[in-house]
Each structure stands twice: as C-alpha cells, then as structure tokens.
C-alpha cells in the first residue's frame, strides 16, 4: 500500500495543464521506455509506448490516459499587481477562492499565488450576502506592489497557474486526498499495466500512453487515434463520485462500467465483452451513467469508427485542490484493465466489431 501511495503522490504532485503537460510527459517517457519496443509522440505532445505484435495482421489496441489537469492561464496583469485569468478546464467557482496556487513563468520559475476572496466584514450592510463570482472574475494575488514588480519576476500573459496541494492519506489509511487524480489515475494505470505485462505475450499490438488537452475538449484523442489508427480504444479516466450527494458513483465500490455519457454510448458487443470479463475475473464493478465526457467520446468517431469505452474509477470533489478517492478502486480497475488487455486477440476483437 505504501508503494502505491508513493507512486500516486509523485504523479499527482506533478503540475501540468492543457498545452503544458511536459512534466507529466517526461515522467511517463522515463517510466515506459524500458517496457515497450518504442515510444512515439504525436504532433500535440501525446506520448505512447508501443509493443508490436510479430503478426502484422494482429489487431491494434489503444489504451489512453490524459496528462492534463485543470488550472488557469494569465490574461492580464493589473496596475495593482494582481492577476486575471481564464480557466483551463472546468471549475466550480465555489472551490476557487482563498486557495494556494503556483504560477510558472516562461523560464520555469515557480511563483506562489493565492486566489482572492471577499471577507465577511465587507459584506455587511446592503443585503448582507455574497454573490457567486464568475470564474473569470477571480483575482489571483502574489503579493506584488504593482504591475512593474510582477513583471520584474518574469510574469507574462499566457503563464500557467496550477493548484498547489500535497497528497496525504486519510486516517483510516484506505483513501487518498490530493489534486489531479483526474487524470493522473490514468497515467498510473498505463505504467502499471505495462509493468505487469512486460514478460507476457499478447494477441495484439498494444499502444499505451496518454493524450494531451482532454480537459478543454478531448483534443489530444482526435490526434492520437488518427495517428495510431487502433481497432479498439480504451480511455482510462477518473469520474466524479456522487455518493455523498445521493447520486451514482461510490468510492470503494470498484471500477466503473461506464455505459453512457453525453458524448458516448457503449456499443452492445463492447458491453457484453466487459461484463463477461468482469464476471470471469471477479473484479468489483459498479454501473455508472456519466454526466461528463472522456477521450472515448472523441476516439469512437475517428477514422472509420473505433469501438471505445472508458475504464475508470470515481473520486469525490474532482476538479479542485482536494480530491478524495479509494486506493482499493485503483486495484480493481487495474485488475480489470489487465484482464481486458490479456483477452484481446483477433477473434475477440472481431466479435466486438461484429454488427
């Protein structure tokens, strides 16, 4: 359990929003290079390790995480030295104020920031209530005296801002609290998959890695699936848990059978394959109709159509500084993914694609 926590801590404390995934990509490249035949990148920066099958007619299977987390980008430096931003990925404005962030300048210097908030003292009088701020109106403050001082530290429009948070274990030692489990979960799923399969023969060419720019519209998946042209696509991603709000998705209840989201409906044959595999393997799983999307939504409509699905877990309070999730769910998802990848060969892929 300690080894898993250490890996999660390392990955979630890396910083990288859409377009600036380089620290995660460097980690992934270093980890997967000894485990695959070769490593390739696409034109936007997605990175994938490839294990070639000796038969050129063997199916091509793609397993893809995404590297980016949610954050912000500087749009303006005000005369008083505070910053204004645009959000990179989806944020609930209720979770942004009075939090610590890190700004990275073009030279890589890390600048500490906090997000502003209005003290209750300034809300007295009038209606006495606080208005919910628009995300674009949140102030970011590095304590600079004025615009010139902020600029003297190398701050420019276009610099990125990332949540500052440390991964910790909960008191019962079963769960973790950190930022960026969406989707460093998927990155760790890919590296653990390749590590566990390194000495095993597979019935297909495996293309496993991570896309860029998922949080701003599934952009990287369009590029990577076009480049690698897989027959099946498996996104590995983290979804929001609804358990404390009376909705579906409960931490500790295993991996997700994500049969629906607004951008993707799981095909019947894929659903049958996943259910059979889960039952044969004995993995713990739960049905999950999603309200958001994953890279499977982009992949399934590329090329001539690629049967796709998402293998994942749920976590509480995602897209914030403090996400809470169960380590046991990671183990169940990893066991499920390994079982899927081991079962796939030409006949099984053809059955999934048989309409």
What does the pLDDT look like over 38-75, one tens digit per residue? 999 999 999 999 999 999 899 999 999 999 999 999 99
Q: What is the DSSP letter of 70?
A: -
Range 205-215 average pLDDT? 98
The answer on pLDDT for 96 being more than 90 is yes
Q: How confident is the model at residue 210 (pLDDT cuts 50, 70, 90)?
A: very high
pLDDT at 126 over 60: no
- The encoded tokens of residue 41 equal 């990148």
Tell me what pLDDT residue 134 has.
Answer: 85
Q: What is the DSSP string of 189-229?
A: HHHHHHHHTTTS--SSEEEEEEES--TTTSHHHHHHHHHH-
Known catalytic residues?
Answer: 214
- Indicate whether 122 pLDDT > 80: no
In degrees, to the nearest 5, what angle opens at C-alpha 240 toward C-alphas 235 and 244? 150
Within a 10 A sphere around the Cβ of 17, how many other Cβ atoms?
A: 26
pLDDT at 169 over 60: yes
CATH 3.40.630.10 domain span(s) along the chain: 2-69+179-352
Report the share of the chain in percent with pLDDT over 90.
92
Whether 339 shows a pLDDT value over 80: the answer reads: yes
Query: Would you say residue 123 has pLDDT above 70?
Result: no
Looking at residues 304-310, what average pLDDT do you find?
Answer: 97
Confidence at residue 151, expressed as pLDDT on a 0 to 100 scale: 97
Q: What is the mean pLDDT of residues 66-87?
A: 98
The mean of the pLDDT values for the chain is: 95
Comparison of pLDDT for 118 and 165, the residue scoring more: 165
Measure the CA–CA gap between 149 and 176, rounded to whole angstroms.
38
Q: What is the pLDDT of residue 129?
A: 63
Q: Which fold has domain 71-163?
A: Elongation Factor Tu (Ef-tu); domain 3 (2.40.30)
Q: Could you give the CA distance from residue 231 to residue 250 in angstroms, rounded to a whole number?
A: 31
Residue of 184, 180, 319, 181 whose CA lies nearest to 251:
181
pLDDT for res 297: 97
* Range 2-69+179-352 classified under CATH 3.40.630.10: yes
Q: Which of 220, 201, 248, 241 is nearest to 65 (CA)?
A: 220
pLDDT surpassing 90 at residue 237: yes
What residue ranges of the chain are covered by domains with CATH 2.40.30.40?
Answer: 71-163
Looking at residue 352, the DSSP 8-state letter turns out to be H
Q: Could you read off the pLDDT of 249-304 as tens digits, one per residue?
A: 999 999 999 999 999 999 999 999 999 999 999 999 999 999 999 999 999 999 99
Contact 312, 294 (CB under 8 A): yes
Task: Report residue 138: phi and psi, to 5°.
Answer: -65, 135
Position 159 pLDDT exceeds 90: yes
Q: Answer yes or no: is pLDDT of 175 > 70.
A: yes
pLDDT-derived band at 26 (thresholds 50, 70, 90) equals: very high
Residue 324 pLDDT more than 60?
A: yes
């Amino acid at each position: 359990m300690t080894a898993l926590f250490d890996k999660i801590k390392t990955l979630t404390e890396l910083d990288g929003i859409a377009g600036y995934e380089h620290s995660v990509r460097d980690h992934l490249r270093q980890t997967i290079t000894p485990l695959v035949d070769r490593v390739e990148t696409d034109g936007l920066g997605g990175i994938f390790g490839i294990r070639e099958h000796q038969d050129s007619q063997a199916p091509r299977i793609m397993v893809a995480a995404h590297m980016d987390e949610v954050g912000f980008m500087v749009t303006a430096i005000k005369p008083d030295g505070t910053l204004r931003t645009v959000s990179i990925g989806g944020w609930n404005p209720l979770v942004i104020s009075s939090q610590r962030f890190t700004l990275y300048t073009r030279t890589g210097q890390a600048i500490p920031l906090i997000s502003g908030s209005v003290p209750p003292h300034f809300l007295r009088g009038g209606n006495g209530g606080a208005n919910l701020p628009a995300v674009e109106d949140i102030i970011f403050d590095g304590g600079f005296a004025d615009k010139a001082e902020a600029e003297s530290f190398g701050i420019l429009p276009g610099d990125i801002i990332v949540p500052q948070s440390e991964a910790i274990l909960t008191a019962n030692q079963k769960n973790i609290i950190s930022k960026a489990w969406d989707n460093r979960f998927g990155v760790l799923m890919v590296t653990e998959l390749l590590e566990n399969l390194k000495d095993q023969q597979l019935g297909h060419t495996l293309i496993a890695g991570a896309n860029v720019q998922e949080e701003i519209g599934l952009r990287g998946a369009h590029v990577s699936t076009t480049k690698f042209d897989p027959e099946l696509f498996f996104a590995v991603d983290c979804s929001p848990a609804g358990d404390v709000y009376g909705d579906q998705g409960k931490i500790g209840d295993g991996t997700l059978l994500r049969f629906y989201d607004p951008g993707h409906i799981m095909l019947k044959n894929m659903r049958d394959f996943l259910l059979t595999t889960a039952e044969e393997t004995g993995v713990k799983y739960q049905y999950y109709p999603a309200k958001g999307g994953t890279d499977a939504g982009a992949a399934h409509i590329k090329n001539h159509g690629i049967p796709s699905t998402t293998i994942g877990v749920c976590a509480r309070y995602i897209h914030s500084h403090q996400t809470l999730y169960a380590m046991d769910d990671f183990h169940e998802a990893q066991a499920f993914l390994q079982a899927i990848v081991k079962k796939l060969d030409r006949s099984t892929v053809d059955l999934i694609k048989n309409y």
